[in-house]
A and B are shown apart, each in its own frame.
Chain A
Amino acid sequence: MTSPAIELKGISKAFGPVQANKDISIAVQPGTIHGIIGENGAGKSTLMSILYGFYKADAGEIFIKGQKTAIPDSQAAIAAGIGMVFQHFKLVQNFTVLENIVLGAEDGALLRPSLGKARRELRRLEQEYELHVDPDALIENLSVGHQQRVEILKALYRQANILILDEPTGVLTPTEADQLFRILARLREEGKTIILITHKLREIMDITDTVSVMRRGEMTATVKTAETSPEQLAELMVGRKVLLRVEKAPARPGKTVLEVEDLQVTDDSGVERLKGISLNIRAGEILGIAGVAGNGQSELLEVLGGVSAAQGTIRVNGAEIDLTGKHSDGQSRRARGIAHVPEDRQSEGLIMDFQAWENVGFGYHHDPAYQKNALFMDNAALRADTARKMEKFDVRPPDPSLPAKNFSGGNQQKIVVAREIECNPDLLLVGQPTRGVDIGAIEFIHKQIIALRDEGKAILLVSVELDEIMSLSDRIAVMFDGMIMGERLPEDTNAQELGLLMAGVANGGAA
């Protein structure tokens, strides 16, 4: 048997009292795709940073092709044939593709020969791996998917044999993710070794040969992908049985809560973002909005949530709401029974430096329950209320005085969801409820949304995760280019049909 392309033996790393990696050992065979899966904070990124020379391990050894190798810095990692594609790309935005590829791997003090050589090499790599990208394009003009290709090309140009990808699909559309997987499969055919770090089970099942599961800094298992199941992996990740399928009873819709007619939004630069949206949601029903990010979903949420102005008509429980005047704000919307879980919890849902109880109070400062007298708020009441909500929504740690930034992504999201659901809204707007959230928290948040529906509330769910839309929604509307391309019932459609609608192909057929 050949020696593994890369082997780790007993890697440990601690940050102060936190043991990020505990005695980790894995061996990855050449020409395979090895998945590393684990929840946020399980220590995956730390492990990869050690491999790429960002951190020095406290203990343990790294073997490359059977040779013991020290990796004190990134340069050593590159020399050892390790290439890394970070979750946040390390590209210079106003450089060309070629310049980014050459950066740090120039052949001499003058640029011209280096660029010429890189251009030839790039052409060869393009043919060999079917990685097409214009060498003279500026990075800032490329789509995210193409930027990622540049990162891969950067690694290949440095003759990487081992490619590490950290959460590569987090920023990609479903189509782009499929293209990436085709590229990875191609790289594997050519004998490259790939380590894929992710928290998405589907990706692991789709493309990897072997998979290692990490939990709280430890490697809990390494198994052949063909011999495992998503359920088993989820259990290994979380440490208990997880329900991957959302269980819900059929909807029992009541009267119409939300009616939207011919909603139009034009942004500051004069671009039409919403081109006449009409939809309605009844009580006890979840309407899912599917679509590739940037097709007007955010604008729709913002208008409904009172963040931005629009033309058209919106009625809530039969009464029209103000879309442009001074009653077009979040405060007025809440008074009308609309609660809003914004798409980006870090920039819109929370103030990261504020404590949990202060964050839970946002939007509800005028709630009579939190008033001590005419001048002062009753902070003690708000704190007590926060503690109760944190308990109910299983926020860990349940400490109202902890700043929002000290919670994990999943727990931050639970704080926002708790704040919005607990005010007992008639209509809940939810944007990307589980973006960057670990499996355990996803399960919990999904349950809460279903429970709210079963109480007879109307819910508008916007998500770029098609799986999430399909499993939660009672009806699915697909948005493309500021319009609703069509509406489907989840039981009557499939991912292919929705994917076509998301790409702007009407009726799932010819355009």
Chain B
Amino acid sequence: MDYLTLLQVLDSTVRLATPLLLACLAGLFSERAGIFDIGLEGKMLLAAFFSAAVAYLTGSVWLGLLAGIGSSMVLAGLHGLASITFRGNQLISGVAINFLAAGMTVLIAQDWFKQGGRTPSLIGGARFEPITLPLADTLHPVPVIGPLYHDLISGHTILVYVAFLCVPATWWVLYRTRFGLRLRAVGENPAAVDTAGVSVVGLRYAAVAICGILCGIAGAYLATALQAGFVKDMTAGRGYIALAALIFAKWRPWYALSSTLLFGLLQAVALRYQNIDLGGVVIPVQVMDALPYILTVVILAGFVGKAIPPRAGGEPYVKER
């Protein structure tokens, strides 16, 4: 494999890791506050559809992004209502959201656009365009560093840069602010937060709302940046991979970056090398596609240390005397 091919694979890794990273950080906020969320997939899917639909109808990708975030937050609110206010089962609520999104997107897409459950292709201002960073073209001829800067670091859409900046931002919020301290506490021992005179419900809704925003950006990225339009089930399990990455990352922001990059790399390799030929033994593409999931099982089986989830995760908070 030459240098240029390597850069191409890594470039594709970054593109594919971006939605995973956003969804993973979304899950991180929610689960750190004690709300398990397997509805990441559904929120992304709904956001993908509405961002594409609104971008197509208005011609503005920014309005599309807003619509995506808004729709994702509606689902997040639903999840909050079910699991925080009504203290329902968080897994069931998440599954319901996934079903709801899977059905609703196709239904509305068919009703609006009559193209078999997809949106028309987005063109021009209805899509996020790659940004060329300053000096990218000037530096291109410089050996090694030039192509690295031009091909890998430059030339992504704004959402990719936003996603990667979300990592230090999340770390800072979580570990350096009052909000972060309370958020982490509410996922570990809500009773401690409650008796300290801070609202458990308020904190958890805030976390779920942040989760909604990030899932919304992830969904919009899929439909308006990575691809040009919405197609049925376009999230393709990314919400679940993000959850696996979250466990792999032990609910920490920087680890989330590395784990989503790893999963992104696996997807990039699977995409580029459909069938890998290892001295006569052909590894079919299905194996590559399944690799992230196999990896997750291996990780969860305990080969890579122990992943301890937030202690109060999944438990509705009921005041005790």
Contact = CB atoms under 8 A, between A and B. Distances in A.
Interface of A: 45-46, 49, 52, 54-55, 73-75, 77-78, 84, 86, 90-95, 99-100, 102-106, 108-112, 114, 154
Given A54-B321, A111-B176, A84 B195 contact: yes
B188 interface: yes
B296 interface: no
Interface stretch (B6-14, B22-30, B179-187, B276-284): B179-187
Given A109-B177, A112-B176, A114-B178, A104 B189 contact: no
Contacts of A110: 176-178
A115 to B, nearest CB: 9
A95 B196 contact: no
A253 B145 CA distance: 91
A95 B187 CA distance: 12
B181 A94 contact: no
B191 interface: yes
Interface string B176-214: 111111101100110111111110000000000000000
B196 A74 contact: yes
Contact of B182 (A94, A103, A108, A112): A103
30 contacts: A52-B195, A55-B321, A74-B194, A74-B197, A77-B197, A78-B197, A91-B192, A92-B185, A92-B188, A92-B189, A94-B188, A95-B184, A99-B181, A100-B192, A103-B181, A103-B198, A104-B198, A105-B196, A106-B178, A106-B181, A108-B178, A109-B177, A110-B177, A110-B178, A111-B175, A111-B178, A111-B180, A111-B181, A114-B178, A154-B196
A19 to B, nearest CB: 16
Contacts of A93: 188-189, 311
Interface residues of B, number: 23
Interface string B142-183: 000000000000000000000000000000000111111110
Contacts of A46: 321
Given A90-B194, A110-B176, 6 more contacts: A54-B319, A75-B197, A93-B188, A100-B192, A110-B178, A114-B178
A426 to B, nearest CB: 42
State the main secondary structure of chain B at its contact with A: helix
Contacts of A99: 181
Given A45-B321, A106-B181, A92 B192 contact: yes
Contacts of B311: 93-94
Nearest to B175: A111
Contacts of A95: 184-185, 188
A144 to B, nearest CB: 16
A103 B188 contact: no
Nearest to A105: B196
Nearest to A106: B178
B197 to A, nearest CB: 3
Nearest to A95: B185
Contacts of A108: 178
Nearest 3 A/B pairs, CB to CB: A104-B196, A75-B197, A90-B192
Interface of B: 175-182, 184-185, 188-189, 191-198, 311, 319, 321
Contacts of B175: 111
A91 B178 contact: no
Contacts of A111: 175-178, 180-181
Given A46-B321, A92-B188, A102 B194 contact: no
Contacts of A45: 321
B198 A91 contact: no
Contacts of B191: 90
A84 B188 CA distance: 20
A90 B178 contact: no
Given A84-B195, A92-B188, A104-B197, A49 B321 contact: yes
Contact of A86 (B179, B184, B195): B195
A171 B92 CA distance: 37
A90 B320 CA distance: 11
Nearest to B192: A90
Nearest to A166: B321
Nearest to B182: A103
Nearest to B312: A92
A45 B321 CA distance: 7
B321 A90 contact: no
Of listed B176, B185, B194, B195, residue having the most chain A CB within 10 A = B195
Contacts of A91: 189, 192
B75 to A, nearest CB: 29
Contacts of B177: 109-111
Contacts of B197: 73-75, 77-78, 104
A74 B191 CA distance: 11
Contacts of B176: 110-112
A43 to B, nearest CB: 11
A103 B321 contact: no
A49 B194 CA distance: 13
Of listed A77, A106, A108, A114, residue having the most chain B CB within 10 A = A106
Nearest to B188: A92
A111 to B, nearest CB: 6
A110 B181 CA distance: 10
Nearest to B195: A90
Nearest to A20: B321
B235 to A, nearest CB: 33
A112 B245 CA distance: 30
A74 B194 CA distance: 8
Nearest to A112: B176
A105 B319 CA distance: 20
B192 A103 contact: yes
